[in-house]
Amino acid sequence: MNNLAPSSKSIKQRSRLVNDPCDRLRDAIISGDFQPNERLVEADLALRYGAGRTAIRAALATLDQEGLIVREPNRGARVRLISAREAFEIEQVRNALERLLARSAAVRAASGDLDDLRAILAAMTERLRESDSLGYMQLNPQLHRRIWRISDNQVAIKVLVTLKSQSIRSQYGTILRPGRPAQSLREHEAIVAAIAAHDPDACDAAMAEHLGHVLETLQWAIDSQDRQRAWSSREEPTLSAPA
């Protein structure tokens, strides 16, 4: 895979690099600047980002492949709406791949890697002690990405990054369940311990348990949102925003 992030795209001029409409548009979509299902008109975007329509068009092609938008022929692009079902599918795939990477990390981890992991764990413990759930949540992906780096399977990492950018916009937070952060920390500790012990089977199992709980939590979030919507209106059982 060539670019797992805007990183590996060889150097280019910085001026072009920071203005690349593709990256800017991606960030805008991921951070929610556009509503799900909102139309993305090429001319408007070209104006907004001070680029030609050609560049925008290329960006849309890329984002389409990444699954962040949908394009219908002659009808333009809209930001893609992730259904609850698809969010679940994404999490399942993530589950499978993170387990693979966890195994690999357990085999390959060097002492420097372990130091980093333990440092992140310590920071997480601190956030939890301060009841800083938000801070804890931000550390979560850091730990996982550090594990990815140890495993060094570029193909799997690229897939995970792409999936992440899709699911991040899904409305279902997975940590906000009462009591979850404390349990999550214990699970993370078990994973790191298994990596430190260079025990791939244990690491796989620990990661499986961790992400299994995440899946349950996601299901819980979906259900509770469904229940909530069932009260107000009785439409669109699969979609999640009324457009």
Binding site for its own copies (CB under 8 A): 1-2, 9-10, 12, 57-58, 61-62, 64-67, 70-73, 80, 86, 89-90, 92-93, 95-97, 99-100, 104, 153-156, 159, 163
C-alpha 236: how far from chain center: 25
Is 30 in contact with 169 (CB distance < 8 Å)? yes
Give residue 141's identity as a one-letter amino acid code: P
C-alpha 136: how far from chain center: 16
How much helix, strand and coil, in percent to the nearest 5, is found in the chain? 65, 5, 30
Q: Residue 97: name its binding partner from its own copies, DNA, none (Cβ under 5 to 8 Å by kind).
A: its own copies
DSSP SS3 for 24: helix
In the complex, what is the shortest distance from the CB of residue 179 to DNA, in angstroms, rounded to a whole number? 46
DSSP SS3 for 79: strand
DSSP SS3 for 78: strand
Q: Which positions from 76 through 115 interact with DNA, judged by CB under 7 A? A: 76-77
Residue 63, token pair as written in the block: 């984002």
In the complex with its own copies, which residue's Cβ is closer, 121 or 211?
211
Indicate which single residue of 14, 16, 129, 234 sits in contact with DNA (rule: CB under 7 A). 16
135 binds DNA (CB under 7 A): no
Work out the number of other CB atoms within 10 angstroms of the CB of residue 146.
Answer: 16
In the complex with DNA, which residue's Cβ is closer, 71 or 164?
71
Q: Residue 100: name its binding partner from its own copies, DNA, none (Cβ under 5 to 8 Å by kind).
A: its own copies
| H or E stretch covering 34 | none
Q: Residue 55: name its binding partner from DNA, its own copies, none (Cβ under 5 to 8 Å by kind).
A: DNA
In the complex, what is the shortest distance from the CB of residue 46 to DNA, in angstroms, rounded to a whole number? 8
x/- string (CB under 7 A) for DNA, residues 39-78? xxxxx-------xxxxx-xx------------x-xxxxx-
